[in-house]
Structure 1
Amino acid sequence: MRVALLTGGMKAAARRTTLAAIRNDEADLVVGTHAILSEGVEFARLGLAVIDEQHRFGVRQRGMLAEKAANPHLLVMSATPIPRTLGLLIYGDLDISILDELPPGRTPVKTRCITGKKRRDLYHFLDQEIGRGRQVYLVCPAIEDTPDGGLNAVKSYYEDIAKALLPERRVGLMHGKLKPKEKAAVMEDFKAGRLDALVSTTVIEVGVDVPNASVMVIENAERYGLSALHQLRGRVGRGVAESWCFLVSDNQSENVQKRLKFLCSTTDGFAVAQYDLETRGPGDFFGSRQHGLPTLQIADLMNDTRTLHAAQAEAVAMLADDPLLEAPEHALLEQQVQQMFEKAGAMN
């Protein structure tokens, strides 16, 4: 099989060569980042589009890939679940497969909320875990210090806190401004066990698998959405050792505390998604908004699941008999559908 790689960081000559291979049917499998969605990428015979970590793509971005061919098969995957009711509306035209069990040998991650006053006790625990041969992640929301000083920046946190409180341990630093080779070298050192702790931004949120890592510490946890926190928590608990996630926040807002405590109460991704749906809204499905209430006039996403199922079944039956909505009795519906998609563009 002929495989091509396309990323935004490629040099111009290599990019031209790859684009020509994709266009001239010289690549059977194309693997890439968002760069695949950019202008100038032309597929000779795109038959299957696979989008991993689909929640990281905007609605319009997901549609752009499908537009690069005439109705290619589409597979979207995500480790961040969506509520089943919401799935009816977003993915009503797709078959949905749900994997909701932990792999064999894994145990649920224990999650705790603490304040910065407990940081020294926390680091004592981290040192004990490292002494047992484990590794730990320390995640900060910013790279550089902010003017108001309200966020833990990864660079100063690495020097002033992590290295100071773990003086005898090997601590690494990872963030998005490092060059690709530097990031790869740091991650390889962590995977190989040459680092005990890794101070990082959310660049480790997806695609990182280090079974020996048993603790995730998330500073300024109030600055992250629940799905991001759930994803970060998923970086640990990949081995047989008992694993922990600590949400560190000094924010005393009632809503923030309620959100963080909810995450501490469950490791069920579907429960997390349902809570997000109830508190932030599901987004505008026929536009690029990712949150906020949808433009439903009557239906209620939380209470009308049975009715939404029935509506979906009726729509499937109708389209089976009249795929293009050409029957006279469907003329008004066809007009409404056309207006909806002309306004919003391609669906996800």
Structure 2
Amino acid sequence: MHMPALDDSIQFVKGIGPKKAALFQKLQIHTLRDALETYPRDYEDRTRITRIADIQTEDKYAIRAVVGTEPRVNRIRKGMTLVKCTIFDDSGSLAVTFFNNPYAAALLHVGQEYLFYGRVQGYGRGRTLISPQAEKLSADASHPGRIVPVYPLTAGLTQRDLARVTEAALAAVPGDWPDPLPEVLRAKYRLPDAADALAAIHRPQTAEDVSQARRRMVFEELFLLCCGLQQLRERRRADPGIPFVSHGLDAFFDILPFAPTGAQRRAIREIAADCASGRPMNRLVQGDVGAGKTVVAAALCVLAAQNGWQSAFMAPTEILAAQHAETLAPLLAQLGITVTLLTGSMSAAQKRSALAAVESGAAQVVVGTHALIQQSVAFHRLGAVIADEQHRFGVAQRAALSAKGSAPHVLVMSATPIPRTLALILYGDLDVSVLDEIPPGRRPVETYAVGENMRRRITAFIDKQIAAGGQAYVVCPLVEEGELNLKSAEQHAKDLQATLPHRRVAVLHGRMKNAEKEQVMRDFAAARYDILVATTVIEVGVDVPNANLMVVEDADRFGLSQLHQLRGRVGRGSRQSYCVFFGADKGQTARERLKILCRTGDGFEIARADLAQRGPGDFFGRRQHGLPALHVADPIADLALMQSAREEAEALLAADPALHGYPLLRDRVQRMFREENGEAFN
């Protein structure tokens, strides 16, 4: 008889077969090993049994009850059935409704006791248990509840299918299951061993089992990630880089129209030291809105030019690239350094001329979009690469641009203020500089959180600011289907135009073509419109100094850091700027969140509050391209474990850089990075 092995296909599990196996492939589950590594996304705690009389709120409950009335099947309309019955325990009775599940009628028997688990909806006499799971109980079931794992599904698969497959996978785990975590770390952090953690994550007996197993899985995942990133960083450091000799940056500081902040000077010193080290620089500069990251980038361009090398400055949009070029060209011209713009929408003749200047070396600083990565772009001597707004550029794109030179220095800039520990992990292979001072002379943006009762006054305020020569942004959240109460940008623009017919209103949203978006932004920057109604496509970097009012509709739908980024679009000129957040009337939580923004303009403080309030979740939106996916760890919720994992990885690799003494750990790290990047990690 064949004992199942972890590399066996799941189609041989009883009750699965080839058809269901094809559906499992959509979940990336091909073998029993894949099933073992597909962890539950949630757990239902059916050990806490609630008496019917104790049900207070709409929520999920485990209820031990007897079926009191014969289940009746009602066909409401074609293809739609309801099964209804009543259940009772010693404290009261409760209606049960199954939607589109006529089999439920056949499974439930009057007088039989079951453990029901499902959501209760409605209140008082109208309370109903909706489509519960029902488990038949024997007469001697003293404590029938259990903790039930909930797995990710795809159409055509049920939780029972996933349970079957994971059951078979657990049965195939050998007794001598290897553990990649060194024993000394397991003891230090009191972590269960690998086999016990796997059993507990898939078939926990108690909530504490889940907590301990998850902690072990999270630590392991972060530890593997940190080991791999540390090895990448060390390998980079071993590569020979282009040594930039600093001829002193006094001349650069002299041409600046303002005195740089201490933080800017510190970041520039760190960059100069990296570039002089003989190894390629890989540094992230993260700074709050308006902290002056462009000045730091300009210093790197000057260093490169002084040493006879070109710089490539990559921005996420054409309009941002054009703005960077307009800022840098007159500044660097004072030092005799030429700046060339290269974007996709230039005419063929303009493009030819720019490409020739790049190839000959006449263009010392080349500013552009992703177009800089294209094969047609050949640099004469590329020595420095700058990527603005890093969360738009993945590791792979940085690598493609770097490949245009021989190990050029790389500087990445981000306006998303995040705790340093988190930055070091999320930007894995980069060193980090922080700009935590705002340049003098920037006036704080006056910020207000208001409710709908202020609508007319705010519309009048928009009109007043435009009359005084300013411009206004009005931002609406992205509307999901069915959310009729949210402002859609197009509808809101029509309403504003009708209310203020003498003002010029433009609209900007994600479904527009890129060229259209660019044109609208250019027209707004050139003051051809007074009001720009937009979804958050305006969030990143666009500089319209004349715009001095930001109004955000349904602000309770945005993260605090995102609102802070939006506020950063104003306050860039000499005019006093204002920011108004609608949504303060959407309950106490919304009001308290928005108050934080009214109280402080410090992006790092706001990011911390955002982390504390949102907890685990979508802090970064899309994951960093090119870093291995995290299956169980959450970079925010698990920040403390992440710090420990990083310190332990650094200590272990300092003693054994190639992990010769830990072959299993080395294999797992290689596999983790190979799966993500599709290439050998060695």
TM-score by length of structure 1 reads 0.73
Gaps of 5+ in 2: 1-337
Pairing partner for 1:3 from 336, 340, 352? 340
Q: Does 1:230 align with 2:564?
A: yes
8 Å CA contact 2:524, 2:530 repeated in 1: no
Q: Provide the rounded CA distance (Å) in 2 between the counterparts of 1:204 and 1:155.
A: 15
My pick for the range that moved more, 325-334 or 46-55, is 325-334
Q: Does 1:337 align with 2:669?
A: yes
Partner in structure 2 of residue 76 of structure 1: 412
Label 1:20 to 1:88 Cα distance change in 2 as closer, same or farther (>3 A).
Answer: same
8 Å CA contact 2:452, 2:585 repeated in 1: no
Q: Provide the rounded CA distance (Å) in 2 between the counterparts of 1:82 and 1:52.
A: 16
Partner in structure 1 of residue 486 of structure 2: 151
Q: Provide the rounded CA distance (Å) in 1 between the counterparts of 2:628 and 2:346.
A: 30
Q: Trace 1:187-198 onto structure 2 (pairs within 5 A).
A: 187-190=524-527, 195-198=529-532
Q: CA deviation at 1:110?
A: 2.9
Residue 432 of structure 2 aligns to a residue whose secondary structure is coil
Partner in structure 2 of residue 301 of structure 1: 639
Q: Does 1:245 align with 2:586?
A: no
Residue 385 of structure 2 aligns to a residue whose secondary structure is strand
My pick for the range that moved more, 265-274 or 26-35, is 26-35
Partner in structure 2 of residue 103 of structure 1: 439
Residue 272 of structure 1 aligns to a residue whose secondary structure is helix
Partner in structure 1 of residue 466 of structure 2: 130
Paired residue total: 332
Residue 262 of structure 1 aligns to a residue whose secondary structure is helix
Q: Provide the rounded CA distance (Å) in 2 between the counterparts of 1:131 and 1:199.
A: 18
Label 1:187 to 1:127 Cα distance change in 2 as closer, same or farther (>3 A).
Answer: closer
8 Å CA contact 2:584, 2:590 repeated in 1: no
2:633 corresponds to which letter in structure 1? P
Residue 367 of structure 2 aligns to a residue whose secondary structure is strand
Pairing partner for 2:600 from 266, 269, 275? 266
Q: Trace 1:22-171 onto structure 2 (pairs within 5 A).
A: 29-37=365-373, 46-58=382-394, 61-62=397-398, 64-66=400-402, 71-91=407-427, 93-141=429-477, 148-161=483-496, 163-168=497-502, 170-171=503-504
Label 1:171 to 1:12 Cα distance change in 2 as closer, same or farther (>3 A).
Answer: same
Gaps of 5+ in 1: none
Q: CA deviation at 1:219?
A: 1.5
Label 1:304 to 1:207 Cα distance change in 2 as closer, same or farther (>3 A).
Answer: closer
Once the two structures are superposed, residues 144-174 of structure 1 have per-residue CA deviations (whole angstroms, 9 ceiling, x without a partner) of 996653332333322322x333344x33314
Residue 337 of structure 1 aligns to a residue whose secondary structure is helix
Residue 48 of structure 1 aligns to a residue whose secondary structure is strand
Q: Provide the rounded CA distance (Å) in 2 between the counterparts of 1:263 and 1:293.
A: 32
Q: CA deviation at 1:102?
A: 1.9
Query: CA-atom RMSD, angstroms?
Result: 4.3
Q: Provide the rounded CA distance (Å) in 2 between the counterparts of 1:336 and 1:19.
A: 44
1:301 corresponds to which letter in structure 2? L
8 Å CA contact 2:417, 2:604 repeated in 1: yes
Structure showing the higher strand proportion among its residues: 2
Q: Provide the rounded CA distance (Å) in 2 between the counterparts of 1:291 and 1:254.
A: 34
Q: Provide the rounded CA distance (Å) in 2 between the counterparts of 1:126 and 1:66.
A: 46
Q: Does 1:208 align with 2:542?
A: yes
Once the two structures are superposed, residues 5-48 of structure 1 have per-residue CA deviations (whole angstroms, 9 ceiling, x without a partner) of 143x5678987997798789886544332344567767676443
Q: Provide the rounded CA distance (Å) in 1 between the counterparts of 2:469 and 2:630.
A: 42
Q: Provide the rounded CA distance (Å) in 1 between the counterparts of 2:521 and 2:642.
A: 48
Residue 437 of structure 2 aligns to a residue whose secondary structure is coil
Label 1:270 to 1:250 Cα distance change in 2 as closer, same or farther (>3 A).
Answer: closer
Q: Which has the higher contact order (CA 8 A, sep 6+)?
A: 1
Q: Provide the rounded CA distance (Å) in 2 between the counterparts of 1:43 and 1:337.
A: 35
Q: Provide the rounded CA distance (Å) in 1 between the counterparts of 2:578 and 2:444.
A: 9
Once the two structures are superposed, residues 309-335 of structure 1 have per-residue CA deviations (whole angstroms, 9 ceiling, x without a partner) of 7457647x82xx87xx34733655543
Q: Provide the rounded CA distance (Å) in 2 between the counterparts of 1:40 and 1:127.
A: 48
Label 1:120 to 1:2 Cα distance change in 2 as closer, same or farther (>3 A).
Answer: closer
Label 1:118 to 1:312 Cα distance change in 2 as closer, same or farther (>3 A).
Answer: farther
1:274 corresponds to which letter in structure 2? R
1:189 corresponds to which letter in structure 2? A
Q: Provide the rounded CA distance (Å) in 1 between the counterparts of 2:381 and 2:674.
A: 26
Q: CA deviation at 1:245?
A: 1.2
Q: Provide the rounded CA distance (Å) in 2 between the counterparts of 1:273 and 1:261.
A: 14
8 Å CA contact 1:21, 1:27 repeated in 2: yes
Label 1:28 to 1:210 Cα distance change in 2 as closer, same or farther (>3 A).
Answer: closer
Q: Provide the rounded CA distance (Å) in 1 between the counterparts of 2:658 and 2:628.
A: 31
Q: Trace 1:2-21 onto structure 2 (pairs within 5 A).
A: 3=340, 5-7=342-344, 9=345
Label 1:269 to 1:95 Cα distance change in 2 as closer, same or farther (>3 A).
Answer: same
TM-score by length of structure 2 reads 0.41
